[in-house]
Each structure stands twice: as C-alpha cells, then as structure tokens.
Structure 1
Amino acid sequence: MQGYLRADGRKGIRNLVLVTYLVECAHHVAREIVNQSESDDVQLIGFPGCYPNEYSLNIMENLCSHPNVAGVLVVSLGCEGFNREQLSQTIAASGRPVETLVIQKAGGTKSTIAAGLDRVKDLVSAAQKCEMVAMDMSELIVGTICGGSDGTSGIGANPAVGHCFDRLIEQGSACIFEETGELIGCEQIMADRAITPELGEEIMKSVEKAENYYTLMGYGSFAPGNAEGGLTTQEEKSMGAYAKSGSSKIHGLIKPGDIPKQGGLYLMDVVPDDTPLFGFPNISDNAEIMEMIASGSHLILFTTGRGSVVGSAISPVIKVCANPETYENLSDDMDINAGKVITGTATIAQVGDEVFDLVAQVASGKQTKSEELGHQESIITYKRFEAIGPSCLPTVR
C-alpha cells in the first residue's frame, strides 16, 4: 500500500480538493465551482445552518484536514455565523493550502464562481505534487455503519464485517463501529468486552443516554422499512448491528471528531449530550458517515439488507449487501455479495475475508462502486457534545 503523505504526518488513500460552503446561501455557488471543475477529485461538502455551532465547526475542521484531503476552497456568503477565520486557520495549520472566497465581497454569483474555478485549478495543481510513500495497514482507520437493515443483515453482512474488523485489528488498524442508539440492549455485552471496567461503565452510560434521548423524542432507530424487511424488535435490530463489531476487545468510546491515536476497536457515540435540542441524532446515513470520516476514517464499510445506493465525499464507501435478492436487484451499486451466506454458498469467514481483501484494494486505489458512479453525498447537522473523559480512551492494552 502507498498513501499520500501530509504535512501533519498522516497518510491518505485519496488525494482530493474540497470546496466547502459555510451556509446554505453559498451552496449553489460552491456546487457550480465543483461541477464546472469537471474533476472527480474536486468534491463538495458544506454546512447549511446560519447560526454558529461548536460541533459543526469541529466536524468541518476535521473533514477539511482529513488525510484524504490535499487542499480546500472555503466559500462563504459573508454574514453567516460560521467561524470561517478559525476554519481557514485550522486548515493552514495542518499544512494544506486553503483559499477563501466571500460572495458578498467577490461580486456575487458569477464573479465568485469564476474566481473559485481559478483557485481550484491552483489547488489541484498543488495536490498533484503530493508525495506518495509506503503505507501500512496499521495506519488505516476504517468505519462501519448499517443502513436499510432487514432480517438478513445480522446473519450475513454484519458478522462478515465483524470478521473483517477482527483481521484489521490484528494488523494494527483502528476500527470504528456505531451507534449507541442502535445498540440498545447490547450495552452489557459491550461493557464486558471493554479493556477496563471504567470504559465498560462509560459504554453502559452512553447507551442509557441514547435510550433516554430517543424516549424523549418519541421515536427510535427502528424504521418501518426494518419491519417490512423482517425485523421484529429494536433488540433484534440491535443484535444485528452489534455483529459488525466482531469479537475484539473494545479499546475506546469516542464521539464524532475524536480521532483514535492507535489501533483497536472503538465505539462511536453519535447521540448528542443533554436533552434534545436539534432533533434526531442523525437524519440520514450520510450524517453518520461524515462523523466517522471526521474521526479519521479512510474508508467506510456500509452494510445493508434492503439496499442503499449512497456513497460519500472524502472517503470511499464499500457496500456489503446481506440479502441475495437485493444484491441481484442492485448489483451495480453493491461491492460485496454477503447474500452468499444466506444461500449457503459461502461462510461468514469467507465473505469477511472478501471484505478484508477489498479494503486493502480500495486503500491501494481501487474505486468502489459508489465512486465509479460518482456518488459524493455529505451532510452536517447541528449537535452538541461534551468532551470525553479519560475513562473513554484508556491507555491499557
């Protein structure tokens, strides 16, 4: 494996230029700059809100300084509450070139698009000069989520990803699984796998928080599509989601934007702290994908039974399909057919090894199905988190 060496010492598996808008009012201008650049290596992310939010700033800072990113163009309307100065300073401090355009000062839509295209051209040119160096599996961070789950998810795709995680962790990789809101009922099992009793207590608290949050919202993570796909209870869905974690010890509990400093298995708590302020924890799968990328994930393993066609900006998405009928129907969008477990033509370990091999290939430059199709979805919302305590990232191994 080879990676793109960044000034902060991290290595990326992609070499992208981001165009980043800081409020919905700047979205169209930023999108036009990306579209007119006519390059798959120029990608769009952004935050739609006008009011400031510490979480969104932190997520954006981490995304724009992600190891897969070589340079950034920041597009601001000019009067939004987002702290564009701090964002630009953070990007520059990471050693990446950054340019900022303020639409209200640049002459409006046409002038800003024209200026943006010039800036992007320079950023792409600089990115092409990035040095490639040897990269080890121990330098890789891999996240996993499930979306569109059905009765096959916990039998085929999720345990196969768990097997892949165990192999990655043996190689020294950091692996992130989620989410506490979809693991209600599994808290004691996870606590028993924690490397310290204190971490186990924090895991228990995080799931209790998620249960309370969803109770106050009056709606959980169990969707009508889950029931249509054969799942019967939240606990059944939780056990299927839990299977993605494999069998390794849990080394830490992180929140969005916390980056693992060493290999191991990490649980991501995506449920905001305190009582509900901004609505549901994640309004779509891509919100969660962005959070795992903000925590350093070089690529994402996306398991599904009913089917999903999303990819992501910044980090490649490998889709692992549990349902053989769904795989046949959506084969152009699926990377791995875990339905072979259901049909009895492959074991969980065999499919897990297939996922592991594809992770290595994608990390070495092979495009995923979503990349080939041009999927570059992203979304950032409002949230609020408190910093994790020392018990969440114990140094014991």
Structure 2
Amino acid sequence: MTDDGKTSAAAHPQGDDKDSASGPAPAHAPAPAFGEGLDARLVVARGPSFRLDVTLTAAPGDVVALLGPNGAGKTTALRALAGLVPLSDGGRLRLDGVELDRRPPESRPVGVVFQDYLLFPHLTALDNVAFGPRCHGASKTEARAQAAEWLERMGLTAHAGSKPRRLSGGQAQRVALARALATRPRLLLLDEPLAALDARTRLDIRAQLRRHLADFEAVAVLVTHDPLDAMVLADRLVVIEDGRIVQEGTPSDIARRPRTDYIAHLVGLNLYRGEAEGHTVRVPGGSALTTADDLTGPVFVAFPPSAVTLHRDRPTGSSARNLWHGEVTGMEAHGDQVRVSVAGELPLAVDLTTVAAAELGIHPGTEIWATVKASQTHAYPA
C-alpha cells in the first residue's frame, strides 16, 4: 500500500498462494500474551522531506481510525504496523507484550483487509478463507471447516464455491474480512475497506462491518478518508497531518471540538481561532464573534454551515448577535442542499436549501449579509 492508494508489490498474493502481508504467524511462532493490546511508536523516514512519528496505543476490543489528508502518513503507519516498512530509530511496536518490530510480516499475528481485497483469483471463496488456517498448520479438512464457519458468519455460505470474479463488491469485501479473521489475528488492519463499494452497498456493508468489529476481541486499526466510516466504525479517531498526530479522541469529541481546518472541513464546521474576552472572540483580521461561552485567552470557535442565515440586504431587527458583510465566491451541491462559500469580513461555508438559494437569487459575485446566533456557536480553549 502507498499513500496514493496503490499497493506495494510485496503485499500482492502470487500464484503460489502465499500472501505474506496478511498471512498469519506460522505455527512455530510463539503465542502472544493476550490482553495487553497495542503499544506502538511508528517512526518512519520516507524520502528526504517526510518523517512519520505517531504513537498509537489501543486495548483489546478497541477500533481506532486513522484520518488525515492525502500524504499525511496514514497508509505509511498501516504499512509499518503490518511490517511492510521498517521502523526508524526511536520506533517500537509491541502487541500483547511481544516485540514485533524485528519480525517479518509473515510471522506477525496481523490480518489485513486491503482496499482492493486482493483475493486469490484462482481460489474459491472457501479456499481463500481457508488459506490462513492452512498456513497455521491446520489440515485441509480442518481449514475448510473453519472457513465454512466464517463464511456462514458472513452470510456467504451460498457463495463458498464461487471464485472472486463471480462475487459482487460487497461479497468480496466480506470474503476478504473472513480471510483476515480466520487467522484469529491480534491486530486487524483495514485499508479503506469500503472505498471500492457503490453508495448503496457501502451503507449495508458498513453496518455489517460494524457488527463484526464489535465482536472482534483484539485491536483493529482502520484507515479511511470517509468521516462517516470513521464515526460509525471506530471507538477512537486519530487525525494525522504531515506525519504527526494533530488531534485524537472519541468521534463525538472530535466532531464537537475540531482543532485544525482539515478536521473542521471533515466534520462540516466553520472553525476560527482567536482571542476571547468574555463572550467576544477576536480573530486575525479584526473580525469579532459573539459566543454563548464565557472564556479568556486563545480559543477556537466553531459552528455548522446550517447555522448561518444569508440576506441580500443588511437585516434590521435581527436577534442574531453576529453580522458580517461578504461576497458569494462559490456554490456547489452538498447532499440535498447547496453549499455556499462566502468571502469577506469572515470566510464562511453556508448550507441552504435549493429553494432558499433560489429565493435569494444568489450567484458567485453576489454581495450578501450573513448572520449567526451566539447560541449556535461553540467556543473552547485552543
């Protein structure tokens, strides 16, 4: 895998049925002391100008999502966990109390679900799933019995004899997940596991994946660009920018208190940093916001685009405590609404219904006034 979504040749299964990237530890590998979870500092130098330095800890049963813009280092972190790239000095990787950083990928108790699934094209769904147990030393009969149980769990018994080309995207995703789980890994890595699915299938498979992850007793790490996937599937979000963690916490914490523009855009909020004096926050450029929160010192202020009301003329008698003049610079469809970009005293993203946008008669270049009630803002320490 690479940060541009491609997969390293070292991770691709070949015709000899060996998948070293997602394969389980061989039968002779020492069994880990279950229960301690993940303790890692992932330090990786990638070229002369990029260095990843990310600390990840997770207890058994935790699902951690890595989020960040393209090139932030998410997939590099996943590759380091899988053993596909070596750690630099200062890095460490412990899983259930066992040092893994010097172990080759095939000897790690790690399962991987790749973005494009990488199922063996010449094997049936049953034999794809049985591959892992066979590598663990199970007989062909035992491995197939275990594989059949996993396919039943995934609702795929009727497709056990089908080869990958006969499977839908959702079915292939579930076979790939079953193949990873059949090895009973202590660390499950998921690289954009829903990216290849259409919108309708994605909705169904996301719900199924959530159920399977809820039953998974070890650590799962998910890389995704989709905030909804992260919010639905993960217990904790770790946001990476330029190879560093910029924020981590529960989905609700991060959605409520974003700390960078990337995160604010991800969760759909307007975000500003400024200096608070009571209920007034002054931001660079001289604009001020009135908030419901009483704070002093450096703060962030956030509010959703839906909290903004636009007017063609300066409103009179409005109860809104915040009023700014600006100009429409862009409009685009955003779900069933129109996302309007406004530049001026304060840059804003505004969500309008299509009816409201039509009634206002706005277009790029239109001068407008924007209002936001103080009660719809949220201020918190920076």
Common topology (TM > 0.5): no
TM-score (norm 1): 0.23
Going by fraction, where is helix more abundant, 1 or 2?
A: 1
TM-score (norm 2): 0.23
Larger Rg: 2
Give the number of the structure with larger relative contact order, counting CA–CA contacts within 8 Å between residues 6 or more apart: 1
